[in-house]
Amino acid sequence: MKLSHEEVEHIALLARLGSSEEELERFREQLSHILESFEVLQQVDTADVPPTAQSVDLQDVVRADEVSPSLPHSQIMANAPQQEAGCFRVRAVLE
């Protein structure tokens, strides 16, 4: 599918791209090539393929929770640039 110069200008406008005529022509060629590559998918016979939301089975990739001992408070605070009353001191981010 070949895109016209006007279509590429419209796409550039929607994407808020400031482009020269040279760049628009390059984009036209590149976008046209991408669309032509996808046209190959139109030839795939999908008549016997049931619609699905997931192409592979879902697996739980999260490990089980395990109780483990925490680090000692002194070790946690050892790298704190600023401390106050045993807590990290940071600049306020909200007024």
The pLDDT tens digits for 7-32 are 999 999 999 988 899 999 999 999 99
Rounded CA-CA distance 26/7 in Å is 13
Rounded CA-CA distance 65/67 in Å is 7
Rounded CA-CA distance 6/17 in Å is 14
What would the pLDDT profile of 59-79 be if each residue is shown by its tens digit? 777 888 899 999 999 999 998
Rounded CA-CA distance 45/41 in Å is 9
Stated pTM of the model: 0.47
Neighbouring C-beta atoms of residue 16, cutoff 10 Å: 6
Domains of the chain: 5-41 (1.10.20)
SS3 of 36-50: the string is HHHHHHHHCCCCCCC
